[in-house]
Structure 1
Amino acid sequence: MARTAQTKTEQSAMLRSLFLLAGPTVIEQALQTVVQYADTAMVGQIGAQASAAVGLTITVTWLVNSPLFAMGVGVLALIAKSIGENDLEKARAASSQAVWIALALGLVMGAATLAASPFLPGWMGADPSLHRDASIYFAIICAPMLFRSFSIIFASVLRAVGDTKTPMVVNGVMNLCNIVLNQLFISSGQTFHILGFSVHIPGMGWGIAGAAIATAVSMCLGGTMIFAAALRHPLLNMRGRKLQLDKPVLSEIVRVGIPVTLNRVVTCMGQVVFTSLVAGLGTLATAAHSIALTAEEAFYVPGYGMQAATSTLSGNALGRRSEKELHQVVHASLVLAVSIMSLMALGLFLFPDRMMALFTPDREVVETGAVLLRMVAVSEPLFAVFIIFEGVFQGIGDTRGPFVCSTVCMWVVRVCLTFVCVRWLGMGLRAVWVCMIADNALRCFWLTARYFAGVWKARFHRS
């Protein structure tokens, strides 16, 4: 009886820890989704072609962000493990090495994306009418890559030390800035009638380029703010430290980060090919596909918010060499993520047309996208399980297995099956989304089986 009471107390404490860590991250990601919604809706008012041009760059942006998020995972895993071991000096050393990583990736990725931007739409097989707008949009949002690098990597640094509120606040400021600048830059001005008064808000009328400039300015602001917050954090104590390479610490970060980088790059390259196959179905299909992906994003925000908290607590459990604590983290995270995402999926299933109508007035695009959203809503609970187990493996630095899983699922299930359905069998967008859902389902079952097989346990018994 006493043991049962103790177990319940421990589970309650773990749930509280998850809520405290995950709450701000969920809000942060929700705010990011609101901005993505605002961007898509404002651009959607220009027309389906504008939506397609912006949507064409979404998966490539994920690809570009891959090394940044991956190295953020490497830094988070090392800092969380060090804190679990109560080795604060190593945690501070890891945060210092994050500066070098952010600088290197920001400069290299910035140069590469700007060089590729004129050719990107052609590489993806887009309709020639989309080339100019898509190229301009992609080039502008990639210009401040250095700031994006610092924003992503140092948000992970702060989360690793349990500070999820600062990234939330910074992203809130970024998102507010983005929405205000969208209004000023995209349209030529709008008049609002409120309580008998007419209020005119001026605009520059820059269209797609205006949306990109708003995003770029917001990114510069966010990168500056998040790095300044990391410098001031008392646990990291980065001010006054000599900025020099620490090869053992850097190699440990890279050892965890490289498989995650490969995972994300391979997955996102698959997404790019996947999107190019959709682009071959025409402008209407591309617009419906990209808008439906954006609409779905809000419904898995809680899962990714939980993932960040799960990674941090899993790394702490590894530092304390406590398998029991890891099991508690997994159980609590799965219960919360699956419950919340299942409830949200019900809303997506019941009101998909209303979600699509938020982003475009085009009736045909709305009707096509609504069918896709209803299909994917059924798979959201499986997606929640995959997200949590991915976070667990990232937190304990076991990143090779998930890399193999993502590679096989993306390229064999999603890309190859989509190619067969579209190019050989002449099937349409619904078949494409069936392949995407099958990919997510297989990832869920694969990582679940891997966790219960216990291949990760060796990490808890190393000296």
Structure 2
Amino acid sequence: MELFGRRVGSVWRRAAGLGWPVAVQHTFTTLMRTVDIIVTGLFSPAAVAAVGLADLYAQLPLRVGLGLGAGAITLSSQDTGRDAEVSRDRAITLALVIGALCGLPLVAVGLFHGRPLIALLGAEREVARLGGLYLTLVFGVAPMRIVGLVGARALQGAGDTRTPMVLNGGVNLVNAGLTVALGLGIWQFPRMGIVGVGLATAISRTIEAALVTAAIATPRTALSLEPTWDTTVARQVVSVSLPSFAEGMSTSIANFPFNSLLLLFGTEANAAYHIGRRVYQQLTGPLYRSASTVTSIIVGQALGEGKAAEARRDAVSLLVLSFALLTAAGAVMFLGAERIVAVFTNDPATRRHAVAFTRVFAVSMPFFGVFFPLAGALRGAGDTRTPFYARLAGTFVFLLGASYVLAVPLGYGLVGVYVGMVLSYACWAVIVAAGFYWGGWADTAASMIAEREEESEPEGE
């Protein structure tokens, strides 16, 4: 028992060392987005609506980057664990190149179809015009956005979580400063309005991609660029990335009908949901996202070393830590919901609904504490399909299906939506837990590693 306690303590200390930079990084990212919303709100309601609608499409490069980032962190962590630097660097380089290529079509879409895409959502003429300008700028740097995300995940997979924190944190501060300067026209900068907000994002994402690529290419980090085509590595990067991309897109796509369902109960209810969502993302996002990333790193490296049993024990230890932290955070959110929501709105109806939504998210935090570390463990092994199935089932069966049936045909209104939301997150947790305890994720990792070893044998001789 004493030995077990020391092992758990060691894993938790390692997780804290790896996790705090990830948490800080996500905190800066969320705060940057908050600054964008505050500045845009000073222009006009049309500008706010334009950015909100454009961000629905801007999810696409984000999801591509996170999907390829899952492939990068999986192979990077596994190959770091087995000291296969050449294979790791090839995987990272291929993921960066594939990401940049995936972003090129989005540049063309933004240039020629930005405004029509916003108008397609039913936006008024001025909203479509402003949203089209913003989307053109955001899509214009899609390759850079994807490269920045992939490069950061590659560094994290190798155990370096501080470099992405420093680079991303600095870039987000630049973004926030340029958003204020170019959007509002302070100091010597021209007042460019929503174009300035979009331009600030474009500049910062370009800087981020350049810095991340330079960090990988120079001796300052353990990684390097290895521009050698390897069919096995390329296939594995894509096979791991596609389900992760589909997982994220399933959530993004579901946002359209779910928001339509909320609008049946009024604009205040819809606004309240977004306030509650902002609250939980700001307060707990750094925790559950770092739990996912850290578990991927630790499990992937253990599997790379051939220690499957140790990987499983470490994942369970991190599950316990994540569950405890997020349950505690949920309790704080639940008890402090009224005071927290008061920061966002003074409208009585919106405030009342927002408190309820915040408490729904608070009650769901224990399920987040299960889903994210276990999903991270599965991704570290190369199993990105199970988390995809979990989100797909939870989102479409419960978040959309159960919420609608309970709220509209059965007449429970927003209470039915609340129940559907909690059930969806519970579904996420149950499916990944089943996949972790009964799935063959360790065999998946071993098979992937064996393929890469076989492919690299001639070069090692």
**TM class by smaller structure:** 0.7 to 0.9
Q: Distance in 1 between matches of 2:192 and 2:344?
A: 19
Q: Distance in 2 between matches of 1:17 and 1:399?
A: 24
Q: Distance in 1 between matches of 2:237 and 2:112?
A: 29
| Partner in structure 2 of residue 355 of structure 1 | 340
Corresponding residue SS for 1:235:
coil
Deviations 1:77-136 (A, max 9, x none): 112111222222211211221232122122133334555532334444557774444333
Comparing 442-451 and 335-344, the one that deviates more:
335-344
2:26 pairs, out of 20, 25, 29, with 29
| Partner in structure 2 of residue 305 of structure 1 | 290
Distance change (3 Å), C-alpha of 1:371 and 1:125: farther
Q: Distance in 2 between matches of 1:214 and 1:286?
A: 28
| Partner in structure 2 of residue 139 of structure 1 | 136
| Partner in structure 1 of residue 312 of structure 2 | 327
| Partner in structure 1 of residue 374 of structure 2 | 389
| Partner in structure 1 of residue 459 of structure 2 | none
Counterpart of 1:336 in structure 2: which amino acid?
Answer: L
1:81 pairs, out of 78, 81, 90, with 78
| Partner in structure 1 of residue 274 of structure 2 | 290
The RMSD of aligned alpha carbons is 2.8
1:40 pairs, out of 37, 40, 44, with 37
Corresponding residue SS for 1:119:
helix
Deviations 1:393-433 (A, max 9, x none): 11100122222222222222222334446665677656444
CA contact (8 A) 1:48 1:283 kept: no
Comparing 31-40 and 132-141, the one that deviates more:
132-141
The answer to whether 1:236 aligns with 2:220 is no
Comparing 7-16 and 283-292, the one that deviates more:
283-292
2:206 pairs, out of 220, 228, 235, with 220
Shift of 1:311: 0.5
1:315 pairs, out of 300, 323, 334, with 300
Q: Distance in 2 between matches of 1:385 and 1:116?
A: 41
Counterpart of 1:372 in structure 2: which amino acid?
Answer: F
Q: Determine which structure has the larger helix proportion and give its number.
A: 2
Comparing 177-186 and 116-125, the one that deviates more:
116-125
Q: Distance in 1 between matches of 2:125 and 2:107?
A: 25
Q: Distance in 1 between matches of 2:176 and 2:343?
A: 15
Distance change (3 Å), C-alpha of 1:369 and 1:63: farther
Shift of 1:437: 2.7
CA contact (8 A) 2:363 2:422 kept: no
Distance change (3 Å), C-alpha of 1:277 and 1:124: farther
The answer to whether 1:245 aligns with 2:242 is no
TM-score normalized by the length of structure 2 = 0.87
Residue correspondences, number: 446
Corresponding residue SS for 2:115:
coil
TM-score normalized by the length of structure 1 = 0.86
CA contact (8 A) 1:52 1:287 kept: no
Deviations 1:259-298 (A, max 9, x none): 2222222332223332344456665444333333222212
Comparing 255-264 and 155-164, the one that deviates more:
255-264
The answer to whether 1:371 aligns with 2:356 is yes
Q: Distance in 2 between matches of 1:418 and 1:349?
A: 21
Distance change (3 Å), C-alpha of 1:305 and 1:248: same
The answer to whether 1:447 aligns with 2:432 is yes
Corresponding residue SS for 1:379:
helix
CA contact (8 A) 2:295 2:380 kept: yes
| Partner in structure 2 of residue 184 of structure 1 | 181
Q: Distance in 2 between matches of 1:288 and 1:53?
A: 19
Deviations 1:230-281 (A, max 9, x none): 111453232xx5x342222111111211222222223322233323444566
The answer to whether 1:262 aligns with 2:246 is yes
Deviations 1:338-383 (A, max 9, x none): 2222232233223334434444565654443232112211111211
Deviations 1:56-88 (A, max 9, x none): 344443343212211111121112111222222
| Partner in structure 1 of residue 104 of structure 2 | 107
Q: Distance in 2 between matches of 1:132 and 1:357?
A: 33
Q: Distance in 2 between matches of 1:225 and 1:52?
A: 32
| Partner in structure 1 of residue 259 of structure 2 | 275
Structure 1 residue ranges (4+ consecutive) displaced by more than 6 angstroms after TM superposition = none
Q: Distance in 2 between matches of 1:182 and 1:101?
A: 30
1:402 pairs, out of 387, 390, 393, with 387
CA contact (8 A) 1:300 1:380 kept: no
Q: Distance in 1 between matches of 2:77 and 2:172?
A: 28
Shift of 1:301: 1.7
